[in-house]
Amino acid sequence: MTQNIPAHGSNVARKDINDLYKWKIDDLYATLDAWQAAAEDFQNALKDFAALQGKLNTKAGLLEALQKQSALSEEISKIYAYARLQLDTDNADPQFQALSGRAESLLAEFNNAVSFVEPEILALPHDFIQGFIDEADFAEFKFYLSNLLRLAPHVLPQEQEALLSQASLAASAPAAIFRSLVSADMQFPPITDGDGNPATVSEGNYLLNMTSPDRTLRQNSFRTLMSTYHNYRNTLANTLTGQCRVSRFYATAHKYNNTLEASLAEDNIPTELYHGLIKTVHDNLQPLHEYMALKKSALGFDELHPYDIYMPLSTAGESFACTFDEACARVTEALAPLGSDYIDTLKHAFASRWIDIYENKGKRSGAYSWGIYGVHPYVLLNYQPRYNSISTIAHEMGHAMHSYLANKEQTYVNSDYSIFCAEVASTTNEILLLEHTLAHATDEQKIYLINQFLEAVRTTVYRQVQFAEFELFTHGEIDAGRSLQAETLENYWLESNKTYYGPALTVDKELASEWSRIPHFYTPFYVYKYATGYSAATSFAASILCGKPGAVDKYLGFLKAGGSDYSLNILKNAGVDLTTPQPVAVTLQKFAEKVKELKALLKK
């Protein structure tokens, strides 16, 4: 397996890795000089664009502004990507730092230059815009303008919006205080592992400790981390109160009834979907209870504690070790149901250096896909020979193919898919890979893979909906004119965990403090999108794998639609209606089936 694997890792300089394993940055600009020239031309174009201010009150003036804004946006996306992609490959490189600084400055100039466009459009009589919105010249801007008009009742006069904008820095204080406290000031006492050796716990290594086979290390990590948060519980209850009040202020100032309504408005999501999601999960909690009972039995514990939940049931992930080329071949085989056109593009991506494969000194950790209109997506990896890295290839290529197909099919303005849809394609690929791998796995590997799936659903659907329900409670308290008391939040969180995880879990008192460490609560009503996205992906994968007529074409239609319509409409047109319980119910039914499969395997 070591054949064809170059030297790589955190101590290997980027220059020592063969270009074959790096993404081809000159697909964006052939040379640095070409980038510099593009940046210069872009800056000059921004100055010309300023001349359009105050001239959007004619059809021709509006069209010119929209077309030029789109062209400028497309160009700055390339200029910015060229700099940032290179910086991400070596954060210590002074040239890349300088390029990135220049790109950041140009992006800020762009945002400032186009800031007059939407206020001027919103100041126009709506009948004026409606009079020509269906004309061919405005076809590519129809959805953009329609959406702008939809949100218009919630946009205040320019002076008032400016005042709210000026207050935003002060209003960001609760989240900033939270980050400073937990990231900088909060100190976690030293702990010991099962052998009595010194060990540490922090937010950075907590999850790693929670998956350790050393139960003493897990227990000490859990108790120490949660107890430390408990020491700051009143402060953290106040920061969360402040965040909820800020959110309510901005929501009601913009003429929404509450923060939930305001948060969902951007994606045009009805609040009924949010409440329906929570109800559907509550109707399907029994499989999670059974999974916890099975985990307790499989691990051989008299009591299952919160620090046991993340413990894997198998270590067979290493048995999938293979080279990067072999991993790409496995992903290609797994995604074959998506059709020859999809596979041909996927192979082209692997062969054409869309991907930066290996770790090097100074390279950003993790993985991502960066779609660039008019070029191709770029994918950053830090490949390691294990199943998780193979799954990461499938995941990131799901993003990449979504961007590629949307960019190919749509104009620039309509190409960018929403955050609501962002994880659907990547997760669909993960599930297709999982099912393909399961079909060729040993029993021990199947235990590992099924446990991976169950943990994904537990953390992405069940746990995120638990968070979403907690947010309803906290914002409801603020809507009722109350503040958030630490004791009330702790009691609520303990009861919530009992409800979600069932009788097999011993709910330790330390768990009461877990709510206070969740950063997502400082971005209101966001986490539900993880659950809806995963559920949509599960529905797509199920339809594709069972050979449902038209399923592949509908899924590809979803990918090609980009951001040309509201997310719910795009998904519904592809056969996934998230306004009904079905996609979430299908996901949790599959979860239940996999629990039964795992139970049977563990009995062997």
377 falls within a domain = no
Looking at residue 8, its pLDDT comes to 85
Confirm whether 37 is domain-assigned: yes
Q: What pTM did the predictor assign?
A: 0.95
Classify residue 328: in a domain, yes or no. Answer: no
pLDDT for the residue numbered 1: 43
CATH code (residue 104): 1.20.140.70
Task: Give tens-digit pLDDT for 489-515.
Answer: 999 999 999 999 999 999 999 999 999
What does the pLDDT look like over 344-393, one tens digit per residue?
999 999 999 999 999 999 999 999 999 999 999 999 999 999 999 999 99
pLDDT tens figures, 388-398: 999 999 999 99
Q: Does some domain include residue 165?
A: no
- pLDDT score, position 150: 96
Q: What are phi and psi of 550, to 5 degrees?
A: 80, -5
pLDDT band at 527 (very low <50, low <70, confident <90, very high): very high
How many residues are present in the chain?
A: 604
Domain count along the chain: 1
Structure confidence by residue, pLDDT tens digits, 437-494: 999 999 999 999 999 999 999 999 999 999 999 999 999 999 999 999 999 999 999 9
Burial profile 564-595: b = 16 or more Cβ within 10 angstroms, e = fewer:
bbbbbebbbebbbebeebebbbbbbebbbebb
| Residue 231 in domain | no
Separate counts of helices (H) and strands (E) for the chain: 26, 5
Determine the pLDDT at residue 9.
81
Q: Is 92 inside a domain boundary?
A: yes
The pLDDT tens digits of the residues spanning 45-85 come to 999 999 999 999 999 999 999 999 999 999 999 999 999 99
Of the chain, the percentage scoring pLDDT greater than 90 comes to: 96
Arithmetic mean of pLDDT over the chain: 96
396 is catalytic: yes
- Residue 264 is assigned to a structural domain of this protein: no
The token pair at 87 is: 């910086």
Q: Which domain holds residue 105?
A: 31-155
Instruction: Quickly tell me which residue has 């139960």 as its tokens.
Output: 215
Which residue among the candidates 396, 430, 455, 477 is catalytic per the annotation?
Answer: 396
Residue 232 lies in a domain: no
Contact 501, 288 (CB under 8 A): yes
The percent helix, strand, coil of the chain (3-state, each to 5) is 70, 0, 30
The percentage of residues in the chain with a pLDDT greater than 70, rounded to a whole number, is: 99
Ranges of H-type helices in 373-442:
387-409, 419-422, 424-438
